[in-house]
Structure 1
Amino acid sequence: MTAFWWTVAALLLVTLLAGLIRIWRGPNPADRMLAAQLFGTTGVAILLVLAQAMQTPALNDVALVLALLAVVAMVAFVRRARPETEEPE
């Protein structure tokens, strides 16, 4: 069963590589941010698979922190990308 988990982790690493290529070659900041989200999501999935394969529960906590950081990064991007509007008086 461990070989199965290692194979899944390897396939997720291939997906991670595709996301890194998209970050590098993305034509605009939104494409790069979506690729970064893919990077974060795949990173969480890899950590969860490795936690299962190595039977290390601490990796679950690391995956949770990485997921929270991905959300914070997305919120920061959206707040920066949103156009400034005047507040009504």
Structure 2
Amino acid sequence: MRLMLHGCAYWIWWKLRAACPKRPPWRRAQFDTLRLHLVRLAATIVEKKTRIIVTLPASCPRKGLLLLLFDALAPPKTA
């Protein structure tokens, strides 16, 4: 079970890194660097029936990058 969870976590980090812009510091960043810069921040997360709302703090230094990643990782909208 632990191996499966670690494999899933690695896949999620790989997808996150692949969704990053093609600028040099993000596309080739190590997972620890991504964790320190993107995940370790204070955010409010509210789960609704059809969507998840993430509210970032006003002083978030990487807000633009996070919004870009959220849009890239979101499922495609259906009509």
TM over 0.5: no
Query: TM-score when scaled to structure 1?
Result: 0.30
Of structures 1 and 2, the larger Rg is shown by 1
Structure number with the higher helix fraction is 1
Query: TM-score when scaled to structure 2?
Result: 0.32
